[in-house]
Structure 1
């Protein structure tokens, strides 16, 4: 039996980070996927996660894990595919290192990705967004921190990993801008709206001296995790729903704030290229999804089009006999 712990450690620390040069965000995403898989496997097999072996992580168990993600955790097919991609990457790494498990590996690699629907991106209306931004209590330390986090997340359209990984040295308050390290190690500098800059300045004034370089920290002075931010966002969304009942029907996640920023920028500029630059997308193809969700784009197009002429006609009732025959045929 082959312990899986040393293999996954080598994959994450050596192969993924050093040899492939993957960013911290990618490594963190992969680690999250394996954490979920190993906790599920340990619970299913009644062993400790550190005692799991390679032979136990077979195609059947991984398929059951993927069903667990959708049925129990209510993850979308897109999230399921992200987790499966991480698992397949690890097992491709094992192909030439564990020849005895080659048949097991091939069966696992044959698990198909699930087709996904191309749906409109969810985003908040202006009134709903304002209610969420106003939810944190500005009279408390946590409220000042949360208000700054929400404003920066929306203003810059940050991914949750970009927000939690933002460092004090990345902020330039005199110019009201921040430096963001995004996916694929692509850097981008983004301006801050005045409310966002004011909220961030208020938080930095009371943040205090902590050893960690990250901007947003918890009560212990440690970097706030992505799950921590998601939890706080849910709390503030529930508070905001008292003023905006429509929020109760929406799932307000960190990525919904990013989508909301994209829609604000698109409606303000009418230029999909600027939205792409703002969000740090590698190609315009990724950004085009926002044009499908913005009704003003369709209204502008409708006003620019000369509709075809509608030919006049005179309605003539159908003969009763013919109508009877049509119903019975």
Structure 2
């Protein structure tokens, strides 16, 4: 793994702040490690959970005790807690090619130089599209020093299978039998399967909908079937790395780029480096990619699990009308 140590040259860039509505400011709290203070602009850049960068606007100038490395909680445009300091923090970034020059940007597209300050980043040898880990350490005065590394592989978490829910199934509705509360779907691997679910979960569904089937047991009885949101999409590729501490894995796609996918401990426990997987994901409000379902290629079930060996025809009782 190549490591490039980078010295921070200064902090001349202003913080990019996204103002929250008054209702949001009153109701939400954001905690994290400060990586940049803009006292004149009344703003903080903090690294929150899962390495996500938050740009926070304050109603008044940040207290003088708040500096790089401070652990803060902000609510209603005020720093309500600033206790302790972190010696280091990590955030995610992606290498992009802008006008022929490689630069690192956070998941929301903000340049690293704006998030932390003016930095001299040497990204030579790292291809555009790669995800990198930015480790920020702080000296006694709160000044940051940045280290850029490619993500490494850590062992998947060890979890008790008994506490993990049945893996979700993703599919497209081919037919609905409302009187029997059953749906037939074509799964991501192309196979067909039938599921029974509570009648009220089928009310708004129709043929052609992409759906998430939750907690289906071996006989195809599911706790719920729900339509996926508009941001849902399917990703296929190979597991490039697993970071159980971060709760994420890297998915290398056919074009060679690696997409970072947040996943639960139960999902990560089922993965190994090099696995070929099909995953359905959605993008949350912070721009993070979240796994709804992850299926390893050699674990994908066939129609035989639901229809019996050799059966590939639809039961006559099925009706294709939504």
Q: TM-score range by the shorter chain?
A: under 0.3
More strand by share: 2
Q: Which has the larger radius of gyration?
A: 1
Q: Under a length normalisation based on structure 1, what TM-score does the superposition of the two structures give?
A: 0.26
TM-score, normalization by structure 2: 0.26
Q: Which of the pair is proportionally richer in helix? A: 1
